[in-house]
Chain A
Amino acid sequence: MKIFVAAVIALSSLAAQAKDTVRIAFIGPLTGGNSAIGLGGRNSADLAVRQRNANGKAKYQYELVVMDDECKPDAGVQVATKAGSDRTIVAGVTHYCSVVAMATVDTFHRFGLPTIVWGAVLPDITYANDYKEIHRVNGTMINQNESNAKFMSEHGFKNIAVIHDTTDYGKGHDKYFTQFIGKDGGKIAGDFGVTADQQDFTAELTQIKGLNPDAIYFGGLTPIGVRIRAQMDKLGIKAQFDGTSGIVNDDFIKALGPLAEGTVAFREGASAEKLPRGKEFLEAYNKQGYTNPPEAYGPFAYAAAGLLMDTIEKSGPDRKKIIAELAKVKDRDSIVGTITFDDHGQNTVPVITKYVVQDGKWVAWEDSDYARGKRKLIGK
C-alpha cells in the first residue's frame, strides 16, 4: 500500500512539473465486424495526439482516452456516459457507427461534452437536434449519394441494381441514392437488402443477372463488398461496380486483386493523397508502425482530433469554452479539406472525392486514366 501511495505521489508530481495534461476521448468500434475502421480511426487520432505532444509549442500535454463502443447503442451510451461524467475529459472524437452516434447525442448533451463525430454518416446525428455539443467533420450520406448519382447518370449508367446491407449505413445509402438517381433520370432495376454477415450472394446476383443492369450500386462495407464483387465475376455479370465510402480502403483492393480494377466509389473529404498535409499524414502514419491501415475514415479522426486540440490551445481545457470556440470554426484548413461548422455543428463544405481503382490503387477520378479516356468503365 505504501509503495502504491508513493508511486501515485511520484507520478502526480512528475506530471505537475511538466505541462498540464488534457484528456480527450476517442470512441469507436474496436471489436467486432467494424473493428478495422475503428482501429484505423483510433490510430489516426493517436497519431494526431503524438504529433501535438512532440510539438514543443503546444500549451498542454494531451492524452487520448480510448473507448470501445462495439458498434452497439447500449455499449455506446455506456462509454459516452463514462467520457461525459469524467470531468478530466474535456472533449471527444466520437463514433463511426451511425446507430451509436444517434444513441449518444443525448448523453453528450446532458454532460455538456463537446464532441466531433469522425465517421458516422447519418444526417440526423447533427440535423435532428439542436445540441451545441455535437459536431461532425465528415459529410453526410446525402452529399455522397448526390455526387454518386450525378456521376453515374452523367456517364450513361441508367439502369442500376442496388445491393445494400441492412444496417443503418447500407439502408441510408440505399434511400438517398435511390432518391437522387431518380432525379437524375436513372432507373433502379432492383433493390436487394442483404445482412452484413452474409457469405453467399449468388442467389441475389443471379436475379440481378436476369435484370441485366448497366451497373450495380453497393451500399455497405468492405467485407461484403469484396464478396459481391468477386461473386459477380463468378456468375459472369458484366456491370460497373459502384460503391460508397465504406469500400474506399486498401483492403478492398488487396482482397480482390485485379478484379477491383475500375470500381468507382465516393467519399466525403478531399483525398488525403492529394493535399500536401495528407501526404505527410500517410507518411507519419506508416512510420509509426501501426498494424492496421488508417482506412477510409482515419484522416477524419486525425482531422477531428487536430481540430479539437487547436481549439483547446485557444480556449483552454474547459468544456463550455471549447463549445463556444468550436462554433466559430470557419474555413479551417485540414487534411480532409476546409472545415466550416454550421448551426448544427455540421461541416458544410464536405468535398466529395470520386475515386476509381486503377492499377491496384484508389485514384481520384480526375487524375485517372479513366477520366482521360485511356481506360473505360465496364460496359462503356
Chain B
Amino acid sequence: MKGTLWAALSAFAAGAFAYLLLRAESQTAIAVLLAGASVVAVVAARVRKRSALRKTAATAGGAASRPTATADSAASLPAARTAEPASRERMALALFVAAMVAVALLLREDDFALLLVARVLIAIIACLGLNVQFGYAGVVNFAGASFFGVGGYTAAVLSHSTHWPHLLLLFIGGVAAAGAGSLLLLPVLRTRGHYAALVTIAFALLFRTFLEVNDALGGPQGLKLKEMTMGPLHFNDPIELGAFEGSFYLRYVLFAVLLAVLFYLLVQRVERSFIGVALDAVRLDEIAARCFGLSLARWKIAAFTLGNFVVGVAGALSAFLVGFIAPNNYAFSESLLFVAILLLGGMGNPRGLAVAAAIVIVVPEKLQVIQEYRFLLFSALVVAVLVFKPAGLLPRPMRRLP
C-alpha cells in the first residue's frame, strides 16, 4: 500500500516537474527547476543508499552485499533484487504513463513542448532497442543513428512510391534497419570490444557519406515525407473534438507513448525471460556461456537484429514527425547522443533511459540562451557525470535469484 502511494506520488511529481520545465520560459525559472531537480536527485540517492545499507545490515548475511557503487556494478552479474513484484511494477508503469498522458493533455496547445516530448519518447524507443544490444547482449553499436536513418529513409521513400498504410511503413522501416544490420553481422560476431566498436563507427561514417553522395535518396538535400495517416486519422491536422482543441503534435505524442509502452513491455519481457538470462550470460562471460551450451552467435544475432528493428521503427516515426529527412540528421555525432543517453541512464535499465533521454534532449534545448556555448557545456556535463557516476544515473538493478 505504502509502495503504491509512493509510486503515485513520484509519478505525480515527475509529471508536474516535466510540465513545469516544459512550460518554463524565463532563465531563472529553468535554472531553479534544474537545480531543484539535481538536489532532489542527490538527496534521493543518499536516502536510498542509506536504506539499502540498513537493509543489508539487517539481513546481516552479507552474502548478497551489494558491490559498492563502483563502476563495476554495471558489469558485474546482476544477481540480486527482482525489484518489486510484477503487479506493483505494472502499477508503477501505468501511473507514470498516466502522468505523462496527463502532462501531454495539459500541454495540448503548446506545439513546441509537445514536439519535444515526442522527440524524447522517440529517443526512448530507439534507446530501448540499443539497450537490448549494449545492455543485455553486450554488443556495441555506434551506428545507432544510421539504423535510425535506415528506418527513416525507408518510410520516406515508401510513403511516396506506395499507398501502403503508414503503420505498416513503420514496421517495414524496422525490418529494413534490421536487414541493413545483417550486413554487419559477420564482423560484429567475429569481433569484440574495441574492434567491434570500430566496425560500427566505420559503418556510421560510411552510411552518412553514402547518403550524401547518392542522389537516388535525395542526396544532401534530403527528402520530404507525406503526412502520416492511419485510417481516418490525419496526424498533421489540428485536433478539434467539440470543445477540445489541441495541437497536431498531440497525436504524435500519444502514438509515441503507445509505441514506447509496447516496446518497453517487449524489452522487459525479453529481459525477464530465459532470453534475458542467456543474453546476460553471453555478455558477462562468453566462455562460460558456451560451456553451458549457449550459442553465442545465435544470441548475438538475435539481440543485434531485435535492437536494430526497434531503432528502425523509431527512426521511421521520427521521420514522419519531423516531416523531412536529410543526411545531416544521421551523422556519427547523433549516434553518440544515443550512446550518451544509454550510458547516462545506466546501461541496461529502461527506466534510467527515460530520465537520460529527457536530459539529453530537453536540457540542450533549454540551454538555447547560451547559444554557441551550448554544446561545450553539454559535453562537459556528460564528462562530469560519467567521471563521477560511472554507472549512470539509474544503474540496472540486480537480478535476484528466486
Direct contact of A and B (CB under 8 A): yes
Tell me which residues across on chain A come within 8 A of B371, comparing CB atoms: 30, 42, 66, 68
Task: Verify B374–A68 contact, CB threshold 8 A.
Answer: yes
Judge if B182 is at the interface, Cβ distance under 8 Å: no
B108 interface residue per 8 A CB criterion: no
Q: How large is the interface on A (under 10, 10 to 19, 20 to 34, 35 or more residues)?
A: 35 or more
User: What distance in Å separates the Cβ of B270 from its nearest Cβ neighbour in chain A?
Assistant: 29
Total number of residue pairs linking A and B with CB closer than 8 Å: 102
Complex interface: chain B residues within 8 A of A78 (CB)? 112, 115-116, 119, 365
Instruction: Known contacts A98-B221, A99-B222, A167-B220; decide if A85 and B112 are in contact (CB<8 Å).
Output: yes
Give the distance in Å from the alpha carbon of A72 to the alpha carbon of B28 in the complex. Answer: 28
A193 and B213 contact, Cβ closer than 8 Å, known pairs A71-B328, A77-B322, A99-B328: yes
B268 at the binding interface (Cβ < 8 Å): no
User: Is B368 interfacial (CB 8 A cutoff)?
Assistant: yes
Find out whether the CB atom of A99 lies under 8 angstroms from the CB atom of B220. yes
Is B212 touching A195 in the complex (CB atoms < 8 A)? yes
Nearest CB of chain A from residue B7's CB, rounded to whole Å: 28
A166-B213, A193-B213 known; A81+B112 contact, CB < 8 A: yes
Question: Taking the complex as formed, is A111 at the interface, i.e. its CB lies under 8 A from any CB of chain B?
Answer: yes
Q: B368 contacts A74, CB within 8 Å?
A: no
Q: Which chain A residues lie closer than 8 Å to B372 at the CB level?
A: 30-31, 35, 39, 68
B219 engages A168 (CB within 8 Å):
yes
Chain A residues closer than 8 Å to B111, beta-carbon distance:
81, 84-85, 111
Q: Across the interface, name the chain B residue whose C-beta is closest to A170.
A: B220
Q: At the interface, is chain A mostly helix, strand, loop or mixed?
A: helix
Is the pair A77, B324 in contact by a Cβ cutoff of 8 Å?
yes
1/0 per position for B359-373, CB-CB distance to A under 8 A?
000000100100110
Determine whether A103 belongs to the interface, using a CB cutoff of 8 Å to chain B: yes
**Residues of chain B in range 222-269 having any CB-CB distance to chain A below 8 Å:** 222, 224, 236, 247, 249
A 145-187 binary contact with B (CB < 8 Å = 1; else 0): 0000000000000000000001111111000000000000000
Is A171 in contact with B326, judged by CB distance below 8 angstroms?
Answer: no
Determine whether B271 belongs to the interface, using a CB cutoff of 8 Å to chain A. no
Do B325 and A73 have beta carbons less than 8 Å apart? yes
Could you tell me the distance between the alpha carbons of A110 and B375 in the complex, rounded to whole angstroms? Answer: 30
Cα–Cα, bound, A129→B28 (Å):
40
Contacts of B323 in A (CB 8 A): 77, 103, 106-107
User: Does B328 contact A171, Cβ atoms closer than 8 Å?
Assistant: no
Residues of chain B within 8 A (CB-CB) of A167 are 212, 220
Expressed in whole angstroms, the minimum distance between the Cβ of B333 and any Cβ of chain A is: 9
Task: Select from chain B the residue with minimum beta-carbon distance to A29.
Answer: B372
How far apart are A120's CB and chain B's nearest CB, in angstroms? 11
Inter-chain contact B112/A86, CB cutoff 8 Å: yes
- Residues of B374-390 whose CB lies within 8 A of A: 374-375
Contact among A42, A68, A74, A79 for B322, CB-based, below 8 A:
A74
Smallest CB-CB A-B distances: 3 pairs: A103-B324, A85-B111, A166-B212
Contacts A68-B372, A99-B328 known; list 10 others, CB within 8 Å: A74-B318, A82-B112, A99-B220, A99-B221, A102-B224, A122-B221, A167-B212, A169-B220, A170-B220, A171-B220
9 A-B pairs (CB sep. < 8 Å): A68-B368, A72-B329, A77-B115, A78-B119, A79-B368, A99-B222, A102-B224, A168-B220, A168-B221
Residues in A lying within 8 Å of B, measured CB to CB: 4, 7-8, 30-32, 35, 39, 42, 66-68, 71-74, 77-79, 81-82, 84-86, 98-99, 102-103, 106-107, 110-111, 122, 124, 166-172, 193, 195
Q: Tell me the B residues contacting A by CB distance below 8 Å.
A: 26, 28-29, 32, 110-112, 115-116, 119, 209, 212-213, 219-222, 224, 236, 247, 249, 318, 322-326, 328-329, 365, 368, 371-372, 374-375
